[in-house]
Structure 1
Amino acid sequence: MAEPVWNKFLTARDKQVFEVAGYGKRQGFGKRPAVLVVDVNYDFCGDRPEPILESIKRWRNSCGEEAWEGIRAIKKLLVAARTQELPILYTTSARRADNWDTGSWSWKNARTAERVIAKTTQLPGSTIVPDIAPAPRDIVITKQKPSAFYGTPLQSYLVLLGCDSIILTGTTTSGCVRATVLDAFSSNYRVSLVEEGCFDRSEASHAINLCDMHAKYADVIKLDEALRFIGTLEKGMFALPLGAT
């Protein structure tokens, strides 16, 4: 079994502390999961796979090639979830053209005002990458802050659907994914974080945040485990509108 991606960043003392303090216990899956895809749009992926230092010249938030590796994993997860008719929710950003609603984002990034259009599709950066585009019955939530819960109807949808857990993917691991995991944990949802479907601009931030979330707030799992679990669920547990065909 491969060692966790974060192990190379931990000291021997770190590993001992987690073990002795009891952190990292497996919480397990829930019984009625929703799949949540956080911010996998052009802004965070670019419009094509390319090295991050090239991609961020145009797309300041791009995670480069790692984003497209994550997209491939998310696509497999979505196929399984749709087969079992699980609820699938996406988040993406919503910003005014005049930047009036930028708020605190502008305090920490000098390029906040930039807007980029994807050359391949002529669509704005907030567009969810077409490789994993929402289906008619999926739910798309727009947000302005890191957490998918903050100022959005996400909690309302989860309550309506009777969800007790979330299978989560997206970006960035250290930012919006982490913020969403913490709010989900605070609302008593079990969270399974699919490692291959999460990505970040920083390798160290990605690994250490996975470590911290796995220790305290979520189960970091492999894609194969998520797929096996979804395959055990009864098809059609959720009464969702069918949408257009």
Structure 2
Amino acid sequence: MGELYGRGVAPWDDVLDETDRAVFTAAGWGRRAGFGTRPVIVVIDVNYNFCGDRPEPILDSISRWRYSCGPEAWTRGIPAIQRILAVGRRKRLPIVYTTNPRRPDGFDLGVWNDKSHRSADAVDIMGHRGNDVVHEVAPLDGDIFLEKRKPSAFFGTPLMSHLTNLKADSIILTGSTTSGCVRATAVDGISYDLKVTIPYEAVFDRSQLSHKVALMDVHMKYADVTDTDDVVHHLESLEAGLFDAVFPPAGRAATESGV
């Protein structure tokens, strides 16, 4: 339980007690499902709302960007996503981005808005910079860009339709927050019988406890949680151009990125 596929200590190891370890082991959970053969990279809500606009203490960032995950986004999450995107573009894989703008009156978020007393803050309304994907990992011409109104990237969006059209069998899931939109997307992904892999350095949360417990829970029952090196190694092993016949825009994005 403390090993992450023999590649070091699992990020949740320090929040799991011996009873929990025994329960998951006895029940047989946590077996690796494995990578798919036609993966699509998904970048969930790596926007200024969730990252802030610079590395700074999290409470300082939240004072200006109420959703911010603070320095976790900048020191660990974004660099890991950059590594994955670089090899993904070299292999001409489709890359899907999401962001989550709302109407100025918040109607389209429904009861989700009820959970924060700062829901009237204007940082997430349509047209606000907060909804822009941060420059360091911004989408390129040819990438797939989706707006969503609920946690899962699948709910109320054409994501599954796109994946079916691409003949994709798996997703590499990155972004924020680990316990919210990433977890919801992972659960929906396996519900559609996709293999889901989460490189733990490439997802982040405003709460470290939430981050660790969400990763543990998802890894035990739904998806594979591994590290960025493992994901990069797998992507490097793939033949370039797997999706060229069904998604030529991936080639344009790769050309634009200079790879």
TM-score (norm 2): 0.90
The one-letter code matched in structure 2 to 1:187 is: Y
Report which stretch shifted further, 74-83 or 95-104.
95-104
User: Pick from 226, 229, 234: which aligns with 2:234?
Assistant: 229
Deviation at 1:123, TM superposition (A): 5.7
Q: Which residue pairs with 2:91 in the alignment?
A: 84
User: Pick from 61, 85, 95: which aligns with 2:102?
Assistant: 95
2:201 pairs with 1:189: no
Q: Which residue pairs with 1:207 in the alignment?
A: 212
Deviation at 1:112, TM superposition (A): 1.3
Identity %, equivalent residues: 51
Contact residue 143 and residue 151 of structure 1 kept, 8 A: yes
Q: Which residue pairs with 1:241 in the alignment?
A: 248
Instruction: State the alpha-carbon separation in 2 of the partners of residues 93 and 158 from structure 1.
Output: 20
Instruction: State the alpha-carbon separation in 1 of the partners of residues 72 and 206 from structure 2.
Output: 8
Determine which structure has the larger helix proportion and give its number: 2
Q: Tell me the SS of whatever aligns to 2:199.
A: strand
Q: Which residue pairs with 1:130 in the alignment?
A: 135
Contact residue 105 and residue 112 of structure 1 kept, 8 A: no
Structure 1, unmatched stretches of 5+, are: none
Deviation at 1:96, TM superposition (A): 1.2
Report which stretch shifted further, 146-155 or 232-241.
232-241
Instruction: State the alpha-carbon separation in 2 of the partners of residues 27 and 143 from structure 1.
Output: 28
Q: How many residues align structurally?
A: 241
Q: Tell me the SS of whatever aligns to 2:154.
A: coil
Instruction: State the alpha-carbon separation in 2 of the partners of residues 196 and 65 from structure 1.
Output: 13
Q: Tell me the SS of whatever aligns to 2:131.
A: coil
Q: Which residue pairs with 1:62 in the alignment?
A: 68
Instruction: State the alpha-carbon separation in 2 of the partners of residues 92 and 158 from structure 1.
Output: 18
TM-score (norm 1): 0.95
Instruction: State the alpha-carbon separation in 2 of the partners of residues 123 and 43 from structure 1.
Output: 9
Q: Which residue pairs with 2:158 in the alignment?
A: 153
Instruction: State the alpha-carbon separation in 2 of the partners of residues 99 and 18 from structure 1.
Output: 41
The one-letter code matched in structure 2 to 1:17 is: V
Instruction: State the alpha-carbon separation in 2 of the partners of residues 29 and 66 from structure 1.
Output: 26
Deviation at 1:102, TM superposition (A): 2.9
Q: Which residue pairs with 2:3 in the alignment?
A: none
2:47 pairs with 1:41: yes
Deviation at 1:116, TM superposition (A): 3.2
The one-letter code matched in structure 1 to 2:23 is: V
User: Pick from 14, 20, 34: which aligns with 1:14?
Assistant: 20
Contact residue 185 and residue 191 of structure 1 kept, 8 A: yes
Q: Tell me the SS of whatever aligns to 1:157.
A: helix
